[in-house]
Structure 1
């Protein structure tokens, strides 16, 4: 349940990143999101990485891809949660 609930606020933080830019707390969410989703994305991004690497010219597309990846990670996190524990241990 924790693994499933963790990505949810991160997805919101990622979308609200633009709004947070006006606030005084933009540096806080990005590092947390990157550090937390990096290990999870690494597994999911294995197949997605080439897609994003093929379109480095379009930052908007890359951002959309990350947002969609977070959605996929949210779903896959449930499955990968126990898988990650097995591989990590």
Structure 2
């Protein structure tokens, strides 16, 4: 009977470890998905912004690679961006 109880406890620990592992893996996949999504958006944005030649034309904002959120303080126009370089 003790042997059976020991096996049950061992399987319970194994199940807990597997659940924790799957949870960790899921979190890593979600983080990777956010990063890839942001990188794809940023690639498109950089391509769009590369043709901007006038200081008053709006720029498309970049995205944070860790959070996937749009960078709020991103310069709105080429003129705003150039002002950052001069300070």
For the criterion TM > 0.5, the same-fold answer is: no
Category of TM-score, reference length = shorter chain: under 0.3
Report 1 or 2 for greater relative contact order, CA contacts < 8 Å, sequence distance ≥ 6. Answer: 1
Q: TM-score, normalised by structure 2?
A: 0.26
Q: TM-score, normalised by structure 1?
A: 0.26
More helix by share: 1
